[in-house]
Amino acid sequence: MSGTKLMPLSPREALRSGRFNRVPVLIGVNHDEERGRGLGQELAPGGAPMEPEAYEPAIREEFGDRADGVLKRYPLGAFPSAGEALATVRTDAAWSAPTLDTARLLSAWAPTRMYEFSERDTPWFDAYPTPSFDQRAQHMSEPAYLFDMDLFQEVKHGQARFRDRMISTWVEFADSGRTNRPHFQEAGGYVQTLASDTWRRADFTKDHDYPFWKNHR
């Protein structure tokens, strides 16, 4: 709650006005955040893969008077399954676009770097059934690369270098506030892809249809 001694301003107002501790910031998001929720619901007791006919009602319930635009922009036929379609919509609307907005606000006041965890071949939860579609960089995927956790299957041997590079980069930032990657504001909204095949600049606004969501809130 804002307006208190602990939190005198809402986070939105603090970021807009610059009234916060201006230290270097590393902010990130996973490329496929909502796949975790969708697959979790699917594998929960009584759950099942989403049926195609359930997609449109789910969009209409979630987006109300904006649903027609969302369905036109994310037609079911453009995806292998209804579950993947809904997860993509939710990821872009609730995670990707807001994270980019937050990075833009932060970068006006403090050195800011943004990344996107984009690994496609991530470990699934150990002892859980195989899901109906690939989990990819879902909400809980990156901890498997950072910690020894029995919760997950083992990280593949060929990804050890990627894991070590990601850990060392984050540790360097925590220690010094620096990395060898460009600042978000200095490179026109630079977002760094983190994946085992390559580290490159993400085409973030295109990948997550940012202009659409900027105008549909």
Between 184 and 217, the higher pLDDT residue: 184
Q: Does residue 81 have a pLDDT over 90?
A: yes
End-to-end CA distance of the chain: 23
Whether the pLDDT of residue 3 is over 90: the answer is no
Q: Regarding the domain with residue range 22-214, which homologous superfamily does it belong to in the CATH classification? A: Alpha/Beta hydrolase fold, catalytic domain (3.40.50.1820)
Write the DSSP string, 54-98: GHHHHHHHHHGGGHHHHHHHS-GGGSSSHHHHHHHHHHIIIIIHH
| Rounded distance between C-alpha atoms, residue 81 and residue 92, angstroms | 17
- pLDDT at residue 1, rounded to an integer: 66
Tell me the domain boundaries of the chain: 22-214
**What tens digit of pLDDT does each residue of 37-77 get?**
999 999 999 999 999 999 999 999 999 999 999 999 999 99
- Count CB atoms within 10 A of the CB of residue 42: 16
User: In whole angstroms, what is the distance from residue 59 CA to residue 66 CA?
Assistant: 9
155-206 pLDDT, tens digit each: 999 999 999 999 999 999 999 998 888 899 888 899 999 999 999 999 999 9
Mean pLDDT of the chain: 94
Q: Is the pLDDT confidence value at 120 over 90? A: yes
Mean pLDDT of the region 124-147:
95
